[in-house]
Amino acid sequence: MRFGIVVFPGSNCEQDVKHALDLLGFESRYVWHGEQDLGGLDAVVLPGGFSYGDYIRCGAVARFSPVMSEVVRFAERGGPVLGICNGFQILTEAHLLPGALLRNRGLKFICKEVPLRVERSVCAWMDAEPGTVLRIPINHNEGNYYCDAETLARMEANGQVVLRYCEPDGTRAPGGSAPNGALDDIAGICNERGNVFGLMPHPERAVDPVTGRTDGRVVFESVVRRMAEIGG
């Protein structure tokens, strides 16, 4: 099982994902955005950062990087793809995931640990009991998830909503629990097949106990387990 970590100009969490995977004992290598060969990789991670500076819509330029057409092909073949923060934004821009990420409701960048509720989903990257509360840091200016009502209903029905912002006890506040104003408190979603997962929180920041909790490990461990099951 080998992870590829895509590096766009302006990515800044690629080394964090690498460190998290090293710590968990999973093999990985960096994939430069100009590469067009994902051979030998079993899963692909698009890390956080500010690809191309994100001076226009976040992720809007990165989706045209040479590597992205390969990532799309990899995902269409069922290969597991994870987009964290800016990576999530890129996945929506590339139409691998529905919806868009708007500016935070408070118009401010937010960096803090937040409680997240695991929803019942088909996601290959989230093998945890629904209702489990994970605490993982967020770190973004544009994490306010939005999609139309029809898409939301379809995602709900398909089990594509993977993580929701919640209160510390796992409930959702009547006025919303999302610190960024996300629609329906959505923090992370997957595609219909469950192999492509995008989330605003940074699971790689919750792996090494030196930096705090280790609730983020489940994301990487889940996909490794799933790949082992299907003999990937």
Angle, alpha carbons 128-211-125 (nearest 5°): 25
Q: Is 52 helix (H, G, I), strand (E, B) or coil?
A: helix
Question: Quick check: 122 and 157 in contact, CB under 8 A?
Answer: no
Q: Is 210 in the site for other proteins (CB under 8 A)?
A: yes
CB atoms within 10 A of CB 117: 21
Angle, alpha carbons 179-183-188 (nearest 5°): 75
Query: In the set 132, 141, 158, 214, which binds other proteins (CB under 8 A)?
Result: 141
Query: How far is residue 203 from each of residues 177, 212, 216, 229, measured CA to CA in Å?
Result: 19, 12, 4, 22
Cα distance between residue 198 and residue 45, in whole Å? 10
Rg (CA), the chain: 16
The binding track of 73-102 with respect to other proteins, each residue x by CB under 8 A or -, is ------------------------------
β-partners of residue 116 are 134, 165
Query: In the set 16, 42, 93, 185, which binds other proteins (CB under 8 A)?
Result: 16
Footprint of other proteins on 184-203 (CB under 8 A) = 202
Q: Is 112 in the site for other proteins (CB under 8 A)?
A: yes
Closest distance to other proteins from the beta carbon of 44 (Å): 16
From 13, 14, 58, 85, active-site residue: 85
| 48 vs 194, beta carbon nearer other proteins | 48
Q: Is 110 in the site for other proteins (CB under 8 A)?
A: yes
Query: In the set 4, 6, 18, 161, which binds other proteins (CB under 8 A)?
Result: 18
Footprint of other proteins on 23-82 (CB under 8 A) = 49-50, 52-55
Known catalytic residues?
85, 202, 204
Q: Which residues contribute to the site for other proteins (CB under 8 A)?
A: 9-10, 12-20, 22, 49-50, 52-55, 106, 108-112, 137, 139, 141, 202, 204-205, 208, 210-212
